[in-house]
């Protein structure tokens, strides 16, 4: 079984750019050891002759045809706009430079 120790936690936290507090280290080691145990248990299964699963079902996504339908005119769309000019909705600036 792979051992999860403080050195491994430090390495993984550095790679993932996570700041692990010292008081969280013990619980994190236990949790990771348990996850690795689950994976090692799964590796015990004999999967000889089993095809890899690409999708959960045999269902195929059915999409509707893209059709042009009735739309609202620019004037009607802009009628209730709080801020507008003659052709566009106007919104407050959200990107700061």
The pair of structure tokens assigned to 64 is 């509707």
Please state the rounded mean pLDDT for residues 7-36. 93
User: What pLDDT digit, counting tens, does each position of 32-88 carry?
Assistant: 999 999 999 999 999 999 988 888 888 888 898 988 888 889 999 999 899 999 899
SS3 call for 84: strand
CA angle 52, 39, 30 (to 5 degrees): 155
């Amino acid at each position: 079984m792979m051992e999860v120790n403080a050195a491994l936690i430090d390495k993984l936290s550095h790679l993932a750019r996570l700041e692990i507090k010292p008081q969280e280290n013990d619980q994190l080691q236990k949790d990771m050891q348990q996850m690795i145990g689950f994976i090692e248990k799964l590796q015990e299964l004999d999967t000889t002759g089993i095809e890899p699963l690409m999708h959960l079902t045999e269902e195929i996504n059915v999409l509707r045809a893209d059709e042009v339908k009735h739309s609202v005119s620019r004037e009607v769309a802009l009628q209730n706009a709080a801020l507008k000019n003659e052709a566009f909705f106007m919104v407050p600036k959200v990107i700061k430079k």
